[in-house]
């Protein structure tokens, strides 16, 4: 028999409890990894009872779902702020996006949270769809800049270049992230990324992308 979620968390008190829960869950996920994430640990971390946790999240999967949504929202909100004060110069805009994303990798939360998400996405459909959404959203302004800098590329080609740039930056997470060996070099890595991507976007031709060797 399945429990029905009763805790809507619409009252002030309910919302506060939900925040305690999500913060606790996120802390555990980041510090110990998904394999160590349990309902009891989350309850202890949030300083509430297991029963209370179940009132808001009847199943562990419900909690995970909301945890992912919540964590993603935080990044998205920061990312949206980039839009404000967006420069009309596509090259400058591209620089600022790259700089923002690479430097964000130094954030301890980002460093550990995203690899967990990627691993999760390999076996959890919801995490997989969420990933698609986030990165599609990140690619949008990239695609806009690329189109304006290099108008010769087709829509499909622009999408692939944007994917390449976005994926490349994500790959640095495991190396220059917080606490990682190359963390000291994060500034230089951002420099290399900006120089490399900018040069590439300017010079790349449709034939470079679609040629068959």
Partner DNA sequence: ACTAAATTAGTACATTCGTACAAATTAACC
Partner DNA sequence: GGTTAATTTGTACGAATGTACTAATTTAGT
Footprint of DNA (CB under 7 A): 1-3, 6-14, 16-17, 36-41, 48-52, 54-56, 58-61
* CA distances for 20 relative to 42, 72, 184, angstroms: 9, 17, 33
- Taking the CB of residue 165, how many other CB atoms lie within 10 A of it? 26
Q: Is 47 in the site for a copy of itself (CB under 8 A)?
A: no
Least Å distance, CB 11 to DNA, is 4
* The binder of a copy of itself chosen from 70, 119, 126, 137 (CB under 8 A): 119
| Plot region of 47 (φ>0 → left; ψ -120 to 50 → alpha; else → beta) | left
Q: Per 3-state DSSP, what percentage of the chain is helix, strand, and coil (rounded to 5)? A: 75, 0, 25
Least Å distance, CB 158 to DNA, is 43
CA dist., res. 38 & res. 36, Å (int): 6
Q: Is 122 helix (H, G, I), strand (E, B) or coil?
A: coil
CA dist., res. 142 & res. 172, Å (int): 18
Least Å distance, CB 41 to DNA, is 6
Q: Is 48 in the site for a copy of itself (CB under 8 A)?
A: no
* The binder of a copy of itself chosen from 11, 15, 31, 154 (CB under 8 A): 31
Q: Which is nearer to DNA, 68 or 165 (CB)?
A: 68
Q: Tell me which residues touch a copy of itself (CB under 8 A).
A: 31-36, 111-112, 115-116, 118-123, 131-132, 135, 160-161, 163-164, 167-176, 181-182, 185, 187-189, 191-193, 195-197, 199-200, 203-204, 208-212
């Amino acid at each position: 028999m399945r429990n029905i979620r009763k805790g809507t968390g619409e009252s002030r008190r309910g919302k506060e409890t939900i925040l305690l829960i999500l913060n606790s869950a996120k802390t555990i996920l980041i510090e110990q990894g998904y394999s160590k994430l349990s309902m009891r640990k989350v309850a202890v971390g949030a300083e509430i009872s297991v029963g209370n946790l179940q009132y808001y999240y009847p199943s562990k999967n419900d909690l995970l779902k909301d945890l992912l949504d919540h964590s993603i929202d935080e990044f998205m909100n920061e990312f949206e702020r980039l839009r404000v004060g967006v420069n009309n110069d596509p090259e400058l805009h591209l620089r600022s996006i790259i700089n923002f994303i690479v430097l964000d990798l130094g954030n301890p939360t980002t460093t550990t949270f995203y690899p967990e998400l990627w691993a999760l996405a390999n076996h959890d459909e919801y995490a997989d769809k969420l990933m698609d959404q986030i990165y599609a959203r990140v690619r949008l302004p990239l695609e806009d800049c690329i189109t304006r800098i290099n108008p010769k590329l087709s829509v499909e080609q622009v999408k692939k270049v944007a994917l390449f740039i976005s994926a490349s930056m994500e790959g640095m997470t495991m190396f220059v992230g917080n606490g990682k060996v190359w963390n000291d070099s994060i500034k230089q890595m951002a420099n290399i990324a900006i120089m490399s991507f900018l040069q590439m976007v300017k010079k790349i031709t449709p034939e470079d992308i679609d040629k068959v060797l």
